[in-house]
Amino acid sequence: MNPKILIIGACGQIGTELTQKLRKLYGTDNVIASDIRKLNTDVVNSGPFEVINALDFNQIEHLVEIHQITDIYLMAALLSATAEKNPAFAWDLNMNSLFHVLNLAKAKKIKKIFWPSSIAVFGPTTPKENTPQYTIMEPSTVYGISKQAGERWCEYYHNIYGVDVRSIRYPGLISWSTPPGGGTTDYAVDIFYKAIADKKYECFLSSETKMPMMYMDDAIDATINIMKAPAEEIKIHSSYNLAAMSFTPTEIAAEIKKHIPEFEITYNPDFRQKIADSWPASIDDADARKDWGWNHKFDLESMTKDMLEHLG
């Protein structure tokens, strides 16, 4: 039996590609996309779509009932840089949407939840290189604080109420299909657009700021694979570390120059530099690889080639 899936926040950076992949996998009618407004996009036009406010429990419950939903992917959130500009709303959206979904699972109205965490759960006191699964977590951003609290609640609902909730800590995500969405790692998306359009890019981070990154194809595969894994393979019910590659703005610029020799990069760090400095440079994701067989396909070279082919 195919799951009946509701994606909340389906028009966002991850939701857009996740919706299309899940529809291919389980059939268009089995994947209900939803977001706060109805835009004229492929996600909206290619299958069932509902307008939903992630902060309204009754709306979510109503959709679960009328569509007989079994699995919810909760992708709605205010990302790092945007959340810093509106901390109270970010906390409200990021936390209460999670409670709504956890409580539906607690009441046995749905079977399974995917909720994304992030490397933002780590902070300036976390070991920067090869950050372990279990380590110091003192996040310094609203986004990071909400994700760390969310991890604890996911684990609590699993331990106390038996809720099947699965989560991964996304690194910076790079995609050609949706423009940047207000994250600190988004320079690594924007740089491709500017390289093609203007042959130059002014980076809001310093040249040697190294951060963990992942191509969207790999992130989508990880998301679907953790949800497909048998329950007994999921040993961590807070959130799994996930990694693919780590690089600096200098390194990605050098890779782009191999394809666009006239490309130039300059640096003008802003408030996002402080956020980036508080995050890891590389991640140890041995548990995800061991428990449910995670494996990435893209490195910096293959990702750059694929991005430029799609955008060019």
| Catalytic residue list | 143
Beta bridge partners of 8: 34, 74
**Residues 249 and 187: beta-carbon distance below 8 Å:** yes
Strands 117-118 and 31-35: unpaired
DSSP readout, 31-67? EEEEESS--SSHHHHTS-EEE--TT-HHHHHHHHHHH
Please, which residues have CB within 8 angstroms of residue 268's CB and are 6 or more apart in sequence?
202, 203, 204
Task: Give the whole-angstrom CA distance, residue 95 versus residue 55.
Answer: 9
Whole-number Å distance between alpha carbons of 201 and 204: 10
Contact 256, 194 (CB under 8 A): no
Burial of 16 (0-12, 13-18, 19+ CB in 10 A): buried
Residues whose CB is less than 8 angstroms from the CB of residue 138 and which lie 6 or more positions away in sequence, other chains included: 123, 124, 125, 126
* Whole-angstrom distance, CA of residue 150 vs CA of residue 159: 14
Q: Is 108 left (phi over 0), alpha (psi -120 to 50) or beta?
A: left
